[in-house]
Structure 1
Amino acid sequence: MSSSVKGLIFDVYGTLFDVHSVETKCDTLFKGKGKEISTLWHQKQIEYSFLRQLMGQYKPFSEITLQSLKYALNQLDISYSKEEITILMETYKELTPYTEVEDALQKLAHKKLIVFSNGSRDMLEPLIENSPIARFLDMTINVDDIKQYKPTPASYTHALNKLNLKREEILFLSSNGWDISGAKSFGFQTSWINRTRSPIEEVDQKLHYIYQDLNGILALV
């Protein structure tokens, strides 16, 4: 890693934590439907955050997550109770970190380590505090304060303003191609953690680094 990089900003959902670890609980409640629910639920989370951003109708990510879950169940023609909704919403506070994350963060601990997420404070804080990675993190940043979702420039500006660093001193890491595209456009150094082996987004962005998981970053240290 370039010696100019002083801080690493990590996205949370899909980058550090497996959003599809909710699939097991979904399948327990709605047998045989876990994968479908998990996939559509996450897809609608992203769509609704983009849609609300474009409409200028911000809602905290916890509300978006709830609305996305209800949409997914309705789309799949699944009847549900209020209790089942509550159970599934609670699983987002207990997501499983990817297997290499704890060890990688420990090895990167000589750098400033920050997480920055579209997730609302009421979702992020319990998730991180109850995980084994909390002790490695210097700061948690979310978009509640400015009500601007990534990948808007205002959201990345908010994160930058929280740190006493220049944008070129920051390496931004995300598993989401749209997030990496936004961060690269903003001026951060970027590393796409391409866990799903997806193609590069066709938005005229030449990425700095691409790895399948966080272990790739260790080669830059």
Structure 2
Amino acid sequence: MPITTCIFDAYGTLFDVAAAARIAAAEPGRAAFAAHWPRIAQNWRLKQLQYTWLRAITNQHTDFWQVTQDGLDWSLEAEGLNADADLRERLLQLYWELEAYAEVPAMLRALKSAGLNTAILSNGSPDMLDGAVKSAGLGDLLDHVLSVEDVGIFKPASVVYDMVGNCFGCAREEVLFVSSNGWDAAGAASYGFTTAWVNRASEPVDRLPAKPDQILTDLTGIPALAGA
């Protein structure tokens, strides 16, 4: 069955989650932060994800903005920078304006030119996703932006992946699901989507029951995979 619908995770897949910390580190007066920013960015992302999983399995859902703040607070405290309220505010502000990876606009244009459906399916809250999409100028290249807030649980719960078929009326076999998170690609593969894992950091494949169908280093190959 041909691919009709291309679904993308947002954070780390279309949007560079390290951009907020990298930009802040380059600003005047941030020398203390600049010495720590790579580790803070890494821990911020890790804690953000860990909190989504823990909240999902304990049935204590909150929106992604809360876990984003919680993850940042843990990461700043781990580096002894939690007393810098101005830094915290700046990092959170920048998270609403994350940069898209350089290849994203052209990749999405190629999919749309081929007549394929395109959408985001993300743990992000609707307002966060709206801010990121507008900041990156991707609104005209996406048919829908789907948030887990509509179902009240984070990925990889199967009810989240159900949102794609409910939205587009397509079979699972018609969907190419793209994520930079190995666990998300595995979850989507187990669900029945064709999956592409964007493994920018050359990490090992996660030891999970399902594996991604394709492993890429960036998003430039997605139109070819989708048959565009």
- Which residue does the alignment assign to 2:133? 128
Deviation at 1:121, TM superposition (A): 1.1
Matched, 1:62 2:65: yes
Deviation string 1:19-39 (CA, Å, 9 cap, x unpaired) is: 011122442442312112111
Unpaired runs of 5+ in structure 1? Answer: none
1: CA distance between counterparts of 2:36 and 2:214?
Answer: 36
> What is the Cα deviation at residue 55 of structure 1?
1.2
Between the aligned residues of both structures, percent identity stands at: 35
Structure 1 stretch 53-62 or stretch 24-33: which is displaced more? 24-33
Conserved 8 A contact 2:156-2:184? yes
Partner Cα separation in structure 1 for residue 211 and residue 37 of structure 2: 36
Equivalent residue of 1:9, what SS?
strand
Name the stretch that deviates more: 177-186 or 129-138. Answer: 129-138
Aligned residues: 219
- TM-score of the superposition, structure 2-length normalised? 0.91
Code of the aligned partner of 1:145: D
Counterpart position of 2:4: 6
The aligned amino acid for 1:162 is: C
Aligned to 1:171: 176
Give runs of aligned pairs for residues 152-171 of structure 1, distance below 5 A.
Answer: 152-171=157-176
Q: CA RMSD in A?
A: 1.5
Q: Find 1:21's aligned residue among 10, 19, 22.
A: 19
The corresponding residue for 2:37 is: 34
What's the secondary structure of 1:147's corresponding residue? coil
Which residue in the other structure is 2:50 paired with?
A: 47
Give the superposition deviation at 1:179. 0.3
Which amino acid is the alignment partner of residue 187 of structure 2?
Answer: G
In structure 2, distance between residues paired with 1:60 and 1:186: 24
Q: Which segment drifts farther, 105-114 or 160-169?
A: 160-169
Does structure 2 retain, via aligned residues, the 8 Å contact 1:26–1:38?
A: no
SS in 2 for 1:195: coil
Measured in 1, the distance between the counterparts of 2:165 and 2:85 equals 39
Aligned residue for 1:130, secondary structure, equals helix
List alignment gaps of at least 5 residues for structure 2. Answer: none
Q: Does 1:195 align with 2:193?
A: no
